[in-house]
Structure 1
Amino acid sequence: METGISRRGLFGAGAAAAAILAGAPGLARAASGMTLRWWGNNGWEIRIGAKTILIDPWLTRFKTGTYTSAGADPHTPLSVNKALIDGYLDRGYLHADHILVTHGHYDHLTDVPYLAERTGATVIGTETHLSLMAALGAPEDQLSIATGGEDLTFDGYTIRVLRSLHSATGPRARVAFPGTRSLSRRDRPRVIADLLEGGTLAYVVSGGGASVLDFGGANYIESELAGLRPDVVLLPPGGAKVTDYVPRLLRVLGNPRCVAATHWDDFDLPLGRAHDPNGGLEVLRKAVAAASPGSEFVVLDHLGEFTP
């Protein structure tokens, strides 16, 4: 079952009411105290009571050429649209107690240092991620290192950190902008090629009677997922080089109730213009339907939200 939620509907009425009117059975059930909002790419806002967890928030979305035939220009300068971010913060759209970073690429990490500064959130990532963010000006006392395997409890929610893998593409199944760097380095990243993958993490966030598992890339370590039964999986399209990418994943997770598409839009376009540049969303929808027909397939527009 596929759920589509219109951004126009969400802005024209209360979020929950608009989603029910749009025919979203997940919201109509009101089964949990967790609400998820999609900020485009792999950017997610998870609200549990008064607490908010952000994953890979990237609102700036500058042009890189990623989805053109030439691919991303590695010399694209990094930029942060502080006025855009401030506008959402000042209107009460954004808050954060934690910010979780899945990997170090520009479309996941660039805005995090400024968001950490503005919100005071604790940021979790690998040594490379923290090094990059410190060099970009993130408050260092808010950075918390993770390697995968951490199981953390906070007021009203838990965060479980999993070792994971980045998408591998092309005939040689290569990872874009690979590499690591140590916390001792302070040279400031200038262009997108400076933001290294730096190891990839996945996260399970639980609270309010629900749990959500997020992957920032189209790959995973199956042994890390054994025994997990999340209510929602945030799953990117792709995985062409990963053996049985969708069926193997959903099988090991026990066929979760909801699979929400993530990281499917052309992020060279600004927020409010969610566009699938290569048809990956439909491929993912069909793969989920074939592998786990009982799972609800959720597709949101930018700033759309749902309650599992």
Structure 2
Amino acid sequence: MNVVSEPNPLPPRRLLLVTGLAGAGKSTALAVLEDLGWEVIDNFPVRLLKRLVAMPDEARAPLAIGFDSRTRGFVPAEIIALVKDLAAREDIALTFVFLDCSGSELERRYNETRRRHPMADGRPVMEGIAAERELLEPLRRWAEIMIDTSAMTSNDLQGHVRQLFAPEADKAAMTLTLSSFGFARGMPPLADLVFDMRFLDNPHWVPELRELTGQDAPVGEHIEKDPAFGDAFARIRDLLLMLLPRYAAQGKPYVHVAFGCTGGRHRSVYTAEAMAAGLRAAGFSPTVRHRNLGSRAADEIERDRR
């Protein structure tokens, strides 16, 4: 007697719900997800979600739905009940993401862009932020993944979303980033390794070098003349050459190595560029970013922080 085997059931469809405070970075996160191959719908009426996921989809592309307090039918208690029903289904693998941000940072962003907060309604921006935070608190508590973007740049958030949701095939190759920054303007929030280069002689105090940067040859020559540079650089390079293959073996998809100095324009910039060249010679393909390279040379920043 021949036994006809039943076809293997389709894997559950990935469904990602993305919400959070207005201005916290939802649009940025959804744009990254779209680049990663997700089917993205923003400001989707939540009450139609069951109908949407019931529609046949042969491609079964992962689906990301964005919504917030501006979306029609936005009632947190009803959304949580709906999500619980969807999470119980075997044909759906659901993840709920909440994007949070401090009130002071959101206020700064709204003042900088001169946009109106959706819940301010003629009131000060901070009052609108507080009202929205209170409304969204049940969703924040219930979310599986909470991303606080208070100290993140747009690039930081993009990298974090990629690290969380990129397909496994894309995570196989490690992405290496070397960056420079100025301690006077804050630490990079997502660096895996940070090296402080302020022990080197500061080109800022050489008048003819002050307006130049670590990408200019005279600055590099000045830094390399420091007796501490050669040995320190070689030790950091050897440490990275030992650590990076181990990170890759552990499946770490993104590694960010940051070099800091006071203003982020001279010592850190030169070291990052030189280290990138050294790692390329060893077979790596780092991307180099300079966070504060465009910042002006300012005596009030450098003073007493040599």
Give the TM-score taking structure 1 as reference length: 0.25
More helix by share: 2
Q: Highest CA radius of gyration, 1 or 2?
A: 2
TM-score, normalised relative to structure 2: 0.25
From the two aligned structures, give the one with the greater strand fraction. 1
